[in-house]
Structure 1
Amino acid sequence: MIVAVELGLLYAVMALGVYLTYRVLDFPDLTVDGSFTTGAATCAMMIVGGLPVPLAMIGGVVAGMLAGAVTGLLHVWGNINALLAGILTQIALYSINLRIMGNKANIPLLRTETAFSWLKDHDLMRTWVSVAIFAVVVLVVGLLLYLFLGTSYGVALRATGDNELMARSQGINTGVTKIVGLMISNGMVGLCGALIVQYQGFADISMGIGIIVAGLASVIVGQAIFGMTSVWQAILAAVLGSIIYRGVIQAALMVGLNPNDMKLISAVLVVAALVLPQWGPFKRLRIRRRTAQAVAEGGK
């Protein structure tokens, strides 16, 4: 199960990006399926081209941010429905990703230096050492996101997601905040793609298909179990949800389920996470938890 924890931590970076758009900005962004591959492909090609790993990872982040900017511009300036804007960008990114990869469907990273080479050389991959290192990476990303959402601009972004009309009446340029939010979100997705491509050792044109389901599952499962009464709790819930999601997938493979059914299992998991919180016992438990926290905060 160490592999599941490793993957859960790496994919948690993507889950945090999905949390930013899906929960904070209230924007159903489907760009993720394309921007994940864009970040991975950009990073892989830069590494194969001999560029330093940190620069290649920055390239993956920037590529993801550009993809998010396109979706934001289509929605804000083109006045295109948010869902459709993401779909259009995602479709266009398939061809763009092929161009980035030199019209090849697969780019191997054999005999190249990656961010995980040191761990592999010392046989520390798939150990608790690698898990600890990945946890630190996720902690840094989550802390940066938490600090950003606490700034004046972060509060403006949250206000846009809560009530766009009210935010606009307060002088907030909601169009710009949406574009910036989408850029940051897809930049994080691109970073996740850059990490995953180095972890698995190759970039594939289809590696991002359905990744939005994994991100939504992580956010929804985490928040259904751990709650989201404050920003730091919601960020932590997304991270833990990613680990739980990967654990469920790994457990399904270990008991002998067909790998071709993983997408179906992911969809069922998301449905369960959406439906179960509305069930009586879970709803009463959530109400008691919120009441206890409110009393505790009132006592302070």
Structure 2
Amino acid sequence: MLQIILGAISLGLLWAIMTIGVYITYRILDIADLTVEGSIAMGAAIVAFSIFNGMNPFIATGLAFLGGMAAGLVTGILHTKLKIPALLAGILTMIALYSVNLRIMGKANLSLLRIDTVFTSLENLGLSPNNAVMLFGFLSVAGIVGLLYWFFGTEMGCAIRATGNNPQMARAQGINTNNMITLGLVISNGLVALSGSLIAQSQSFADVQMGIGSIVIGLASVIIGEVIFGTRNFLNCLISLVLGAITYRIIIAMVLKMGMPANDLKLFTAITVAIALSLPVFKTYLRPIKKSITGEDL
């Protein structure tokens, strides 16, 4: 049981990077960006192809990050310059990335077995593969959380947050909201692709379909983190996202341990997200009942 939980934590740390990327578009920019499902697979495709052909794993991971940023840039241009609705722009980029990812890898999946990855250097120090992934994931997440906390406190970061919160007021303050939306999409998809590249290296293969349903996984992690761990301030939000991704992975590991068929995982995730998003509505329905019973408001 302990090994199952540790495995879930190590994988959750890698998925936490993707969750942070989803948070940037979903919460900060108030955009449902489906580019995520293509960019996470793109990160995996780039890193797998590069490492398979002898490139340094760290350089390959950096290229994956840049590839994700390019995908976000395309979505941003479609939305802000060509005036395509954000949801449709993300869908168009996601569909295009499926073919792009196939072109990158040359086939539907690519194995990385017995090939050095970013985790190999830690394994050479005597750590087990799972502990190496956990340590590298923790260091990566800590660095990203610190960097984003600093960035979103700068003038440009505040401009992105203002754009998502009130675009009309942001434009009145002289902020180019189109540029801020595009920048937010670039950062978001760069992080998602980085997550995909690390996940591919941890599981020793990349698959063109590994991004299917990833947006729902990201939303589930965001909602779980916000509901359980709170959103008192921005740093707390970022930490909650990480803990939410880990919690989600532990929940999945537990339900699989209890005998849930793996084929039902996406259904379980969709139901979890639907219930979490509906909590405010349930609370509204329950308020009159509690008031009638206790005579007090919630």
Pair in the same fold by TM > 0.5: yes
Task: Give the Cα separation in 2 of the matches to 1:87 and 1:238.
Answer: 24
Choose which of 268, 288, 296 in structure 1 pairs with 2:271: 268
For the aligned residue pairs, the C-alpha RMSD in angstroms reads 1.7
Task: Give the Cα separation in 2 of the matches to 1:222 and 1:266.
Answer: 14
Match runs of 1:157-176 below 5 Å: 157-176=160-179
2:291 alignment counterpart:
none
Residue 230 of structure 1 deviates from its aligned partner by 1.2
Residue 123 of structure 1 deviates from its aligned partner by 4.9
What do the CA deviations read for 1:137-172 (whole angstroms, capped 9, x no partner)?
A: 211111111111000000000000000011011100
**Please, what TM-score do these two structures have when normalized by structure 1?**
0.90
Answer with 110-119 or 211-220: which moved more. 110-119
Segments of structure 1 that go 5 or more residues without pairing to the other structure are 285-300
Choose which of 27, 32, 35 in structure 2 pairs with 1:28: 32
What do the CA deviations read for 1:48-80 (whole angstroms, capped 9, x no partner)?
A: 111111110111001000000000000001100
1:186 alignment counterpart:
189
2:230 alignment counterpart:
227
1:134 alignment counterpart:
137
- Contact between 1:40 and 1:190, CA under 8 Å: does it hold in 2? yes
Answer with 215-224 or 151-160: which moved more. 215-224
Q: Does 1:216 align with 2:219?
A: yes
2:55 alignment counterpart:
51
Residue 192 of structure 1 deviates from its aligned partner by 0.3
Answer with 189-198 or 266-275: which moved more. 266-275
- Contact between 1:224 and 1:277, CA under 8 Å: does it hold in 2? no
Q: Does 1:250 align with 2:253?
A: yes
**Please, what TM-score do these two structures have when normalized by structure 2?**
0.91
Query: How many residues are treated as equivalent by the alignment?
Result: 282
What do the CA deviations read for 1:60-117 (whole angstroms, capped 9, x no partner)?
A: 0010000000000000011001100000100111011100111x01100122110112
Residue 224 of structure 1 deviates from its aligned partner by 1.3
Q: Which amino acid aligns with 1:32?
A: V
Q: Does 1:69 align with 2:73?
A: yes
Mark the CA change 1:67 to 1:130 in structure 2 (over 3 Å): closer, same or farther.
closer
| DSSP 3-state at the match of 1:110 | coil
Segments of structure 2 that go 5 or more residues without pairing to the other structure are 288-298
Q: Does 1:116 align with 2:119?
A: yes
Match runs of 1:261-300 below 5 Å: 261-280=264-283
